[in-house]
Amino acid sequence: MSEDRLFASEDSCDGAFQFNEAVAAVFPDMLERSIPGYAASILTIGSLAHRYVRAETRCFDLGCSLGAATLAMRHNIAEPGCHIQAIDSSTAMIQRCRKIIADDDALVPVEVITADVRDAEIQNASMVVMNYTLQFLPIADRNDVIDTICQGMNDGGVFVLSEKIEDDDQQIEDLLVDLHHEHKKRNAYSDSEISRKRAAIENVLIPESLDAHRTRLSAAGFNHVGVWQRHFNFVSLVAFK
């Protein structure tokens, strides 16, 4: 696993954050060191797949990056006749994801697709995952995306949504941000790396409040919505059709 040093110098990553080849090359290390609880969330996606994926249905990993959630589903689906679509708009991510999936020996078929997740055709779905994906879409498009997902899911289907959020209470928000930065420092990111990364991603990743996500999911038609993991300002929700 290559070490994430993208923001180690002033000229190492110019402009806004992009999911390009440089990011794809270090992405596993970036996730492991940057997102508290990330590994646990992937394990639980596997557990949810084992519990809720039904025979002859489809599963979707929207914004699949290198396919971690796809593999978690693939290795834990217990029912026959299932199919997974892994979708991402980043060519660099998809190229690496295809190789990772091809080298994996699990039997559930996986189709890796280069596409905008806003154009995904969700049908006959018993499980859909958006693992830190919605936050990169324009807020104006998010309701339609969640509506489309809910409409394409079977009754009893499970939707997993992981997001970075912001707290409505500014004092709590400041604390959570500080704790997250402390977490990154413990994982050997310097103050300058943290600052440069934050500046690069500021207008690319647009967080919302937890209440905004709950409201959107309920309005789309999900009957049960709850948080199953939260660590600082990173949260994973589960919603059932």
User: What is the H or E stretch that residue 124 is in?
Assistant: none
Examine the pLDDT at 67 and tell me if it is beyond 60: yes
Average pLDDT over residues 199-213: 94
pLDDT at 178: 97
pLDDT at 15: 72
Q: Which residues pair with 83 in a beta bridge?
A: 58
Class of the CATH domain delimited by 38-166+205-240? alpha beta
- What pLDDT digit, counting tens, does each position of 126-136 carry? 999 999 999 99
pLDDT at 14: 62
Burial of 80 (0-12, 13-18, 19+ CB in 10 A): exposed
Query: 226 or 8, which is more confident?
Result: 226
- What pLDDT digit, counting tens, does each position of 152-170 carry? 999 999 999 999 999 999 9
Confidence of residue 4 (pLDDT cuts 50, 70, 90): confident
68: which 2 tokens? 């971690």
State pTM to two decimals.
0.95
Closest CA to 79 of 50, 55, 48: 55
- What pLDDT digit, counting tens, does each position of 23-52 carry? 999 999 999 999 999 999 999 999 999 999
- What pLDDT digit, counting tens, does each position of 69-95 carry? 999 999 999 999 999 999 999 999 999
Measured CA angle at 167 (ends 219, 142), to 5 deg: 35
Closest CA to 57 of 16, 108, 14: 108
Confidence of residue 13 (pLDDT cuts 50, 70, 90): low
Question: How does the average pLDDT of the chain come out, rounded?
Answer: 95
Amino acid at 150: C
Average pLDDT over residues 195-217: 94
